[in-house]
Amino acid sequence: MADFAARVSQGHIGRARYLAKNEAVRNTRTTIMKLPLTLKSISSAFAAAQTLVDLATDQANESAEERNQIELDDLSLAYGKGATGRGMATGGAKAIKELEKEQKTRSTRMVRDGLDAALLDIATFYRDIMMVQAGANDGLINKELENQITTYAANTKPHTTINKINAIMAARTNLGHNAAPLLTVEALMCVLAR
């Protein structure tokens, strides 16, 4: 487990620990890493894009849900909600609306960050393909997919692999510039399906 976590986290200690301790995260990563293998047509590209966005959204919502409720409860309590007497202090409703807006913005950012991490993982798949195409099988990040990577590498050309990695990096840049997540990932998956 430690070897797997160290390899796929690429030296990021926090991510390695998170992967090693959380089976659900490992399962999500496995699903993400198998998406490129499903890209056979435009329809499979759209399905893969939807899967990726859904995974990122679910992960962001799961991580934010409890935190958001605690923040909301704490703020409401600070403004006197539930207390005897007058009720909430002046400005409490406005503060709650601002907090909800901030939480929505943070949730959107978390989805984008989740997609970015997933795209980096997918980039390692194509990086491994490029390594096999160059004859360097020793340094594979995704050793658990070595057979699929070797088969994929034998059936594609190195310049195609480089173009796919560049498309992933361009999609990451677009997400960083607030492009629509589903549209961006759909466009990327269509490129990867070629």
Question: Model confidence over 96-129: pLDDT tens digits?
Answer: 788 888 878 888 888 999 999 999 999 999 999 9
Euclidean distance between CA atoms 143 and 184, whole angstroms: 28
Q: Hunting for tokens 């269509």 — which residue is that?
A: 190
Q: What is the average per-residue pLDDT within 73-78?
A: 77
Total number of domains in the chain: 1
Tens-place pLDDT, residues 13-47: 776 676 666 777 788 889 999 999 999 999 999 99
Q: Which domain holds residue 81?
A: 2-192
Long-range contacts, 139-147 (Cβ 8 Å, 24+): 141/7, 141/8, 141/10, 142/7, 142/8, 142/33, 143/7, 144/4, 145/33, 145/34
User: What pTM value is reported for the model?
Assistant: 0.79
**What is residue 106's three-state secondary structure?**
helix
Q: Residue 4 pLDDT > 70, yes or no?
A: no
Percent of the chain scored above 70 by pLDDT?
86
Q: What is the average per-residue pLDDT within 133-153?
A: 91
Closest by CA to 130, choosing from 168, 104, 97, is 168
Six token digits for residue 13: 């200690």
